[in-house]
């Protein structure tokens, strides 16, 4: 039986910022540069949240049941990689990157989960802009590729990704 949606995304916030999107400076393409780094707040993962997400979206025994998870490859309850990806998205939206128009993805060149996320893990994301270019077909947009590394409380990477973000420009051009 699926859990109610209000329980499906519950993670215990930890050190979450209390500022709103409007109080943080919003950035256009022109405000960004290759090599620029940014950070996110952190969030603590709970067994309840891991199980709730899995029940709705990735119902495998090692995400749902501690006893079953003990005999799996993970040797204990582990969050779905898709749950980790969703949490990384939330943290990115709440980061100091704060793009005008929202954080809109145009694709992901790389997505890896080098180690499992466990109940009690505290996740945060460190990001760096690695490439920027103007869209060839949409002059009002720039394409910004970022390297995102989600880290647990021991500074061990739990997700590494390279999404391309679509960022509005201040001054559309055809060049």
Q: What is the pLDDT of residues 48-70, one digit of tens each?
A: 999 999 999 999 999 999 999 99
pLDDT of residue 141: 97
Model confidence pLDDT, tens digit, residues 105-136: 999 999 999 999 999 999 999 999 999 999 99
pLDDT of residue 23: 75
Banded pLDDT at 175 (limits 50, 70, 90)? low
Residue 87 phi, psi dihedral angles, 5° rounding: -65, -40
Q: In the numeric block, which tokens belong to residue 155?
A: 């500074």
Q: In this structure, which topology does domain 5-13+25-168 adopt according to CATH? A: Thiol Ester Dehydrase; Chain A (3.10.129)
Residue ranges in the chain assigned as alpha helix (H): 5-8, 47-57, 61-64, 66-70, 81-93
User: What's the CA gap between 98 and 92, in Å, rounded?
Assistant: 8
Task: Pick the more confident residue, 2 or 41.
Answer: 41
Q: In the numeric block, which tokens belong to residue 7?
A: 């329980």
Banded pLDDT at 74 (limits 50, 70, 90)? very high
Quote the pTM value.
0.86
CB atoms within 10 A of CB 125: 27
Domain boundaries, the chain: 5-13+25-168
Model confidence pLDDT, tens digit, residues 38-53: 999 999 999 999 999 9
pLDDT of residue 172: 84
Average pLDDT over residues 87-100: 97
Q: In the numeric block, which tokens belong to residue 4?
A: 């109610």
């Amino acid at each position: 039986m699926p859990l109610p949606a209000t329980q499906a995304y519950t993670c215990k916030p930890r050190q979450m910022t209390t500022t709103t999107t409007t109080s943080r400076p919003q950035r256009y393409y022109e405000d960004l540069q290759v090599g620029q780094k940014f950070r996110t707040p952190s969030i603590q993962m709970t067994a309840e949240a891991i199980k709730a997400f899995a029940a709705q979206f990735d119902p495998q025994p090692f995400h749902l049941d501690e006893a079953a998870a003990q005999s799996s490859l993970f040797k204990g309850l582990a969050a779905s990689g898709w749950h980790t990806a969703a949490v990384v998205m939330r943290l990115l939206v709440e980061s100091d990157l704060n793009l005008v128009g929202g954080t809109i993805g145009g694709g992901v060149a790389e997505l890896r989960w080098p180690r499992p996320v466990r109940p009690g893990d505290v996740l945060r994301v460190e990001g760096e802009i690695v490439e920027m270019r103007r869209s060839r077909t949409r002059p009002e947009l720039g394409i910004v590729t970022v390297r995102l590394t989600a880290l647990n409380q021991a500074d061990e990477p739990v997700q590494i990704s390279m999404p391309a973000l679509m960022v509005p420009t201040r001054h559309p051009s055809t060049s």
